[in-house]
Amino acid sequence: MRKKKDVIIIGSGVAGLAASVRLAHAGHQVHVFEVNSFPGGKINSKKLGEYRFDQGPSILTGIEYIKELYDLCGEDFLEFEFAELTTSFNYFFNDGLRLNLSSDSKQIVEELSSKLSENKRVLTSHLRKMDGNYRAIAPLFIEKSLHKWRSLIGAPLLKALIRLPKYKLSKTMHEQNAKRFDNPRTVQIFDRFASYNGSHPYQAPAMLNMISHLEINVTPFLPKNGMIQITDAIYALALKQGVKFNFNEKITSIESENGKVTGVKSNLGTYYADKVISNMDVTTTYEQLLPNAVHPTKILEQEKSSSAVVFYWGINKSFPELTLHNSFFTDNTKKEFDSIFNEKRICDDPTIYVNITSKYVEGDAPKGKENWFVMINSPIDVGQDWHSEIQILRKITLKKLSKILGEDIEPLIEEENILEPRTIASKYNGKFGSIYGNSSNNKFSAFHRHANFSTKINGLYFVGVSVHPGGGIPLALNSAKIASDLIINS
C-alpha cells in the first residue's frame, strides 16, 4: 500500500514555511522537502570565525504578516522580540554629504528638507500619498490572488479603482520622483526602492514607489537575534503544527496524471499527494521538475530581476558613523541600472549597501568589531567571467568605502566569504542567479507574474518571490497565504 501525503511542499523558504504552518493548522498533513541541510532558503545564517552573518534578506518590513502566523497558531507574538532601532538608514554620497534617517517619518522629513532643501509639504504629501496607495492596494493586489477575480469584487476593489490616478500607471518610478522632488539626491533615495524587487527605476512603474511606505512611514525592523530569527520562529511554529521535514533531499520531478497532481519524485524515493506546492523559483520549477508539461512561455521568458554580489566581512574595528542599514550611493543611478540590465555588467561606481547586525545583535561580532554584509546589485549570470568581475568589484568597493569613511578597510578584514550570481543560482535555484524571478521593468509587471496556482495541472500551487505578489519577505508571506487559502477552500 503506497503512503500518501495530503500536501507536499518543495522548498522551505519563508513562503514554504508559512504555507506549511497555515495548512497544517487547517488540518492537512504537510510534508516539506528541502535540498539544503537547513530551513529558510535565503534567510539563513553562517558563522565565519567569531562573526555571525545573516546570509540573505536584511531588511524586514510588514511584521504584521509574521504576527498573523502566531495569531493563527494561538502563540504569543510578544515572544518574537525586536531590537530597538533608533535609526532606519544612513546615506552616504561621494562628495561627503551624509544623511541620517531616524525611525520617525517626521524626523526623516526634517532631515531631507534641511540637508537637501526639499519642501517639507511636498515630502509630507508624498509620504502620505504612498501610505494611502499602499493601504488601498495591499488588500487586493498583495493579499489576494489577481487571478481569481471573484476574490477581488467588493468595496476594497472600488476603493483601489478610485485611487487609480494616484498610482501614475503611465509613469516610471523615476519619472514620478523627478517630477515631485527638486534635489537629485532625493530622487536617488526614492529611486533605490526599485532594487527591493530587483528592477530598474527608469523602467519600473511608478506604482512601486509605494514600497517606500513600509520603510519610511512604518520603519524597518530587526529581530532581536537577527534575520535568522524569522526562519527559526516560523520553523518552530511548523514543527508544533506537526509538519514533517526532509532535509538534504532533492525533488527531481512533480508527477501528474490526466491533468492532476499525484505527487513528487526525489533522489531518494517517490511520494504521493493530492496537492503540491513549489517554493522554488517558478522558472526552475518548470524547467527541472515539469519538463514535459505545458510551460507559460510568455511569463517565463520575461526579463529576470537583478542578482547580487555580497561580501561578508569580519571587520576588526567599530565605526560609530555606521548603523544597521547604510547605503553609499553612486553618482549616476541611471548608468548603474543600465549597466546591470542592458550591459549585463557591474557599474564602475555602484551603490553599496552595508548591513551591520552587530550594531544591535549581541554576539554577532567580538567587542569592538563588526560583521559587514556588503551587497552590490549585479546582473544575472549570462556567462560573465565572474572571477575577474568580482576581483575588480572588490577593489572598487574597498576604495569607495575607504575614501568615504576615511580609513583603509582592507587591512581590517579578518574573515571573508562571497555570495555571487552563480552560487545564488546553485544554492537557491534562482534562474541565472536572479533573486526575485522576473523583474518589474514594465508598466503591467504586477499582472504578468505567475499565478499562485497552475491552470494546467490541478492541485499544483506556487509560492515565493518569483510568483504573485512579488519580491520581499512581506510579499512572500502573502504568497503563502494566498496559495494556502486556495487549497483550504478548494
Residue 432 grid coordinates:
541565472
Contact at 8 Å (CB) between 58 and 308? no
The full set of domain ranges for the chain reads 4-45+225-299+443-488
pLDDT of residue 168 exceeding 70, the answer is no
Q: What is the mean pLDDT of residues 211-231?
A: 94
Bridge partners of 309? 376
Torsion, Cα of 448, 265, 56, 224 (10° steps): 110
Sign of CA dihedral 35, 41, 45, 46: positive
Judge whether residue 71 has pLDDT over 70. Answer: yes
pLDDT at residue 249 greater than cutoff 60: yes
Would you place residue 1 in the very low, low, confident or very high pLDDT band (cuts 50, 70, 90)?
A: very low
pLDDT score, position 142: 78
| pLDDT class of 230 with cuts at 50, 70, 90 | very high
Global pTM value:
0.94
Residue 169 pLDDT grade (very low, low, confident, very high; cuts 50, 70, 90): low
Cα(44)–Cα(349) distance, integer angstroms: 29
* pLDDT value at residue 446: 62
pLDDT of residue 166: 59
Whether pLDDT at 155 is above 70: no
CA 102-91-209 angle, 5° bins: 80
User: Is domain 4-45+225-299+443-488 in CATH 3.50.50.60, yes or no?
Assistant: yes
- Compute the average pLDDT of residues 425-436: 94
Residues 351-379: pLDDT tens digits? 999 999 999 999 999 999 999 999 999 99
- Quick one: average pLDDT of 154-178? 70
Length of the chain: 490
Mean pLDDT of the chain: 93
pLDDT in tens, 39-56: 999 999 999 999 999 999
For residue 164, pLDDT over 60 is answered with: no
Nearest CA to 413 among 308, 325, 309, 311? 311
Q: How confident is the model at residue 273 (pLDDT cuts 50, 70, 90)?
A: very high
> Quick one: 170 exposed, middle or buried, by C-beta within 10 A (0-12, 13-18, 19+)?
exposed
Tell me the pLDDT band of 86, cut-offs 50, 70 and 90: confident
More confident residue, 403 or 137: 403
pLDDT at 2: 43
Closest CA to 128 of 91, 173, 169, 163: 163
pLDDT band for position 219 (cuts 50, 70, 90): confident
Tens of pLDDT, residue by residue over 183-194, are 999 999 999 999
Q: Is 482 exposed, middle or buried (0-12, 13-18, 19+ CB in 10 A)?
A: buried
Give the full edge-to-edge strand order of the sheet including 87-92.
98-102, 87-92, 325-328, 352-355, 370-378, 307-315, 413-419
Average pLDDT over residues 269-289: 97
